[in-house]
Structure 1
């Protein structure tokens, strides 16, 4: 799936007025975007507070225009204030969970009552706090399948928000889940550069499932966060579950990940659209 982003940034689709934001939406859809992602970020968490960001009116106009086309809208929001803006605008989902302060019953209620889903990306938040993925990189089920670049990247971290508290993020995710908010699995992995450290494609999704369980989700709910729940919220009715007529994208593992979420790394076989992949064609680190 392709995502389109509207934000104030050179080289991206940028908007400084409601009119510009609304005008960009049909252009982005014409280029093939399946959903629209709005960046609501003044740089606070990244260590650069005060960067230009979408204002409420511009965000509202962009989301409203997307809704005219029936298109899913998601918002990048790392702070409580940005989260409030996304709620007010009517975005369908949040692609991060705020990390600048503890949650309150009020903000959890706003997200719940808006019917939003949340992709916490706890692995990204941890990296922002200076927590590396070294323990994951040391796991023999992962280590043998990382090239040098990804190994170095996973063992480093963003380290832009050391004052953050992972326990507070856990508490927020736990409260969202308890409130009935759909929690989805995602990692925000970028490229194999130590600047984007603590994350690696494939491996970090397994890590995110472990983080979700550490935050209080049951292993079964964490697994659904990566499969059925995500498929439903992103309107992908042909996948995410094992049922007649759906895509047969299957993962066979040794062990029982509904009891021990770490067993997702014990991959024995992979099927894509009903065809079992040869061992040498299974993307690392899933072999």
Structure 2
């Protein structure tokens, strides 16, 4: 149920004959009346279903329909098991937002061969190994997990890797005759960090729970309790990480002879930065700054010390998000929407020293009710409810509210006014039917995603449906033709600069959706190839959205180029730009590389991930810059980002609140086996 971004004559023949064409919905498999049903759901409601059954010839089959904020998946899956119980033949058909879904796998004559929409390969097959498809694969994703639970043994995976299951917790679901006990298992080896899967008493998959949950039909009401139980069970492992990955120096720490990014705006050579008791106590040239003899000296020759980075758009997924972000040098994140109860619980555990995590500045996500409601939203049905949800965000300890695309435009001004009265930051998607200038006039302090800024210049039919797939397809079709020096963009940019309205562009998201064809290696992830499980690295070659009729990939790429240009024009005009990923965090430095392409200097790009977001959330008086009196949130990187911004990937030491962490140990804790490459290669 988990969608993982995961040379012989015979191999060549099988690769050449793999499925290649989109299968229309009318030709996908028809489930029988007695098929087992799973509901795809979130707190926002139902998004689709999966049905499973065994065909007369013994093949195990599934049929999935999923509609998520205007993005549609229609697929079927056919699996035949071999004598060893593993997958011997596999086929996935249908369509997705990326276009065709066409994937095959086969074992024959001691050789396993696969062909997907993004790759193809082969491997000798000498013992049981489970193929994990690149596509959305309900059955194939379940089978290795059920095998581990049945045998108590790890399983080998194809294209590579080894999976492990560990019991987490049990829970009772259902009532009366439908009541049963289910078990949560922590699965590792597939996605880098652990995730949970629930099984029934027979070891069959019962549910996977998260922002998007898959749960056996009839038990949808048990989703919140299962999510709470698995989060608490996974959380019991977190205090050990907080203890073992962090060192609290007993003496001052002197970063000696570093290139330092000081004052939030410039690089200075041959500097010494001294930290004591969690604060920066001295900054200056090496021949002028003195430090106590008992200090711990970090030789920074050839290295660069920067403020701890900010990921200004990170939906915290679980407790492992913390070590993962810290390994990248990120000491502060803005979470622009999540399960608020889990956010509050993590905040409390971090304060108690039981969770290793960056500082999290969280917003409550508020949306209206409709087919494109955000799956993690607090949902309002009326203007009054929208205002009440703003009040609730303040009561929960959030620092902001993020409005979403299904909000009634008429609710924005009163809800934003309430937020400002309470001291909350207002940001978000632009609701369908509004343009960004209207949202800003109604109270937005910040616009999220560059394609919502571009909505100012889009035709009405795009704007009126911009809470669904049109926010991508419409912008991909028309953005290339925007004149950024003419109306309506000229006035919008000038007004944003005058008001100080910020933008969280997430250019890396737009790049991933508009630029690559299936099989292209993403520049966001290219430096990390070889450091993550093969099932994860396959996702590095996931293509973008398939262009709608009448558009081409060239149109999408031209529109993306114009979006990059738009960020540069806004920056030059004085619009605050903050760097975020809306992804795993690995994409952050690529975001900064795109800013440099847009015309930022490396120093200006780095400021977008340090001092500018700190100022945006009102934290700039204590963090975000290297200066005397500031919190010791720092990262030491190997290289010279003043010339090559990509060198920020090469973290060596991270300091947060004056505590030291080795980046290599943080990477290992989240399943990253090695350092990123200095130069990405196809």
TM-score strictly above 0.5: yes
Specify which of 587, 601, 604 is matched with residue 218 of structure 1.
601
Which residue number in structure 2 is paired with residue 73 of structure 1? 426
Pairwise mapping of residues 192-203 of structure 1 onto structure 2 (< 5 A)? 201-203=584-586
Answering whether residue 168 of structure 2 is matched by residue 168 of structure 1, we say no
CA distance in 2, matches of 1:34, 1:70: 8
Structure 1 residues 115 and 78, CA gap change in structure 2 (3 angstroms): same
Specify which of 413, 418, 440 is matched with residue 60 of structure 1.
413
Specify which of 563, 571, 583 is matched with residue 177 of structure 1.
571
Which residue number in structure 2 is paired with residue 23 of structure 1? 388
The answer (yes or no) to whether the contact 2:366–2:378 under 8 Å persists in 1 is yes
Give the number of aligned pairs: 262
TM-superposed deviation, 1:15: 2.4
Q: Which structure is larger by alpha-carbon Rg, 1 or 2?
A: 2
The answer (yes or no) to whether the contact 2:507–2:591 under 8 Å persists in 1 is yes
CA distance in 2, matches of 1:236, 1:133: 37
CA distance in 1, matches of 2:530, 2:566: 34
Specify which of 400, 403, 418 is matched with residue 35 of structure 1.
400
Structure with a larger share of its residues in strand: 2
Q: Secondary structure at the match of 2:563?
A: helix
State the TM-score, normalizing by the size of structure 1: 0.82
CA distance in 2, matches of 1:274, 1:144: 32
CA distance in 1, matches of 2:532, 2:364: 30
Once superposed, what is the RMSD of the aligned Cα atoms?
A: 2.5
Structure 1 residues 66 and 271, CA gap change in structure 2 (3 angstroms): same
Q: Secondary structure at the match of 2:587?
A: helix
Which residue number in structure 2 is paired with residue 186 of structure 1? 580
Q: Secondary structure at the match of 2:380?
A: coil
Answering whether residue 365 of structure 2 is matched by residue 5 of structure 1, we say yes
C-alpha offsets along residues 57-105 of structure 1, whole Å, 9 cap, x if unaligned?
A: 2111111110110111112249994422321212111121124233421
CA distance in 1, matches of 2:631, 2:603: 21
Specify which of 152, 161, 167 is matched with residue 538 of structure 2.
152
TM-superposed deviation, 1:275: 2.5
The answer (yes or no) to whether the contact 1:239–1:246 under 8 Å persists in 2 is yes
Structure 1 residues 78 and 249, CA gap change in structure 2 (3 angstroms): farther
Unpaired runs of 5+ residues, structure 2, are 1-360, 455-474, 548-552, 676-682
C-alpha offsets along residues 147-181 of structure 1, whole Å, 9 cap, x if unaligned?
A: 34542333324526665411110121011011101
Structure with a larger share of its residues in helix: 1
CA distance in 2, matches of 1:54, 1:62: 11
State the TM-score, normalizing by the size of structure 2: 0.36
